[in-house]
Amino acid sequence: MRCTLVVVVCLWLGSLSVEGAGSHETGIGSAPSITGTTCPCGMSNKGRIVGGSQALDNEYPWMVKLVVSDTLQHLCGASIINDKVAITAAHCVHLLQSWHRISIIAGTSDVTKLSGAQIVPVASWIEHEQYYGPLHDQGRTINDIALLMLAKPLVFNANVGPVCLPTGKINLDNKWVKLIGWGKLGQSIETLPVNLMETDVQVLPFSTCQRMNPDLKTPQTQVCIKGPGTTSCKGDSGGPLTWLDPETNRYTLVGLVSFGTCEPTSPAVLTEVSAFLPWIKWKIGTLGCQKVSLETLMRRISKKSK
């Protein structure tokens, strides 16, 4: 086996640092991975998590900021799924025209520190063909997903890399997941935070969410979350909801922020990524990095080493 292949296995299966006491998550560094991923993904640069706090520098390498190219004005959050594609919500690009110039900023969690960041123009975007998002009635929003096709490949490093995609639907009812973004810190606060913020939120059973918002009709394509005093708000749109897979010790993208009220007492609604895996593959020909059994992974590596 060539040395380079050994290094790749270490990237896929190596443990990350142990979680701090402030997190609802368990698994990172607490046990060896029992499955791998098809390529390095979902690896966080972290030593601790404190719910509803500022993220550590470049803690989440897949998180990018969608901005107006000329002014770097914040539009939405997005997530890297491979070196040429990021994923966001359709409503983030729905009103843009083809002549609008937008970019992503990768590799920084502090928008005032761009010296080590990668600012890459978005060449085009693919909005879901059946996206529906009436401005007057967000509760009826469906298929809120879009792909950002980058003008040039990102250079992956410790601060820039893809998130893992799910292999199918994951039952996360009542589970704790991670929400990150540069959105407003409250309905009455007009300015956006300079630093990337994070919080732990809980996935609600869809029936519970539907009782609070009767307009929700598509449990297979949407997921609801609610946090202890925290939630998504304006500016968080398109950003990732990730789940720490205990089998891989890697973060998996499970949702994209779609809409909500900015009130912690009201659930936020997100696009469920697993429902759109066929659509993603149809549009870009690949599903990026996903979980795979160690047996399958080792078999692939063995073939490459011959």
Residue 237 annotated in active site: yes
H or E segment at 181?
Answer: strand 176-181
Among 35, 296, 254, which Cα is nearest to 164's?
A: 254
Q: Which of 144, 200, 236, 245 is catalytic?
A: 144
Residue 70 annotated in active site: no
DSSP state, 94? Answer: T
Residue 173 annotated in active site: no
Q: Which of 109, 237, 258, 274 is catalytic?
A: 237
| SS3 (DSSP) at 233 | coil
Q: Measuring CA to CA, how many Å separate 79 from each of 148, 205, 252, 253?
A: 10, 25, 11, 8
Report the alpha-carbon distance of residue 36 to residue 2 in Å, rounded. 19
Report the alpha-carbon distance of residue 116 to residue 252 in Å, rounded. 25
Report the alpha-carbon distance of residue 158 to residue 140 in Å, rounded. 39
- Spatial CB neighbours of 277, under 8 Å, sequence gap ≥ 6: 165, 166, 167, 168, 287
Looking at residue 225, its amino acid is: I
Question: DSSP of 137-156, one letter per residue?
Answer: -GGG-B---EEEEESS----
Q: Which of 24, 33, 44, 91 is catalytic?
A: 91
Report the alpha-carbon distance of residue 65 to residue 86 in Å, rounded. 10
Report the alpha-carbon distance of residue 97 to residue 75 in Å, rounded. 14
Half-sphere CA count of 293, side-chain side, radius 13 A: 3
Q: Measuring CA to CA, how many Å separate 158 from each of 53, 69, 254?
A: 22, 25, 22
Would you please indicate which residues are annotated as catalytic (active-site) residues? 91, 144, 237
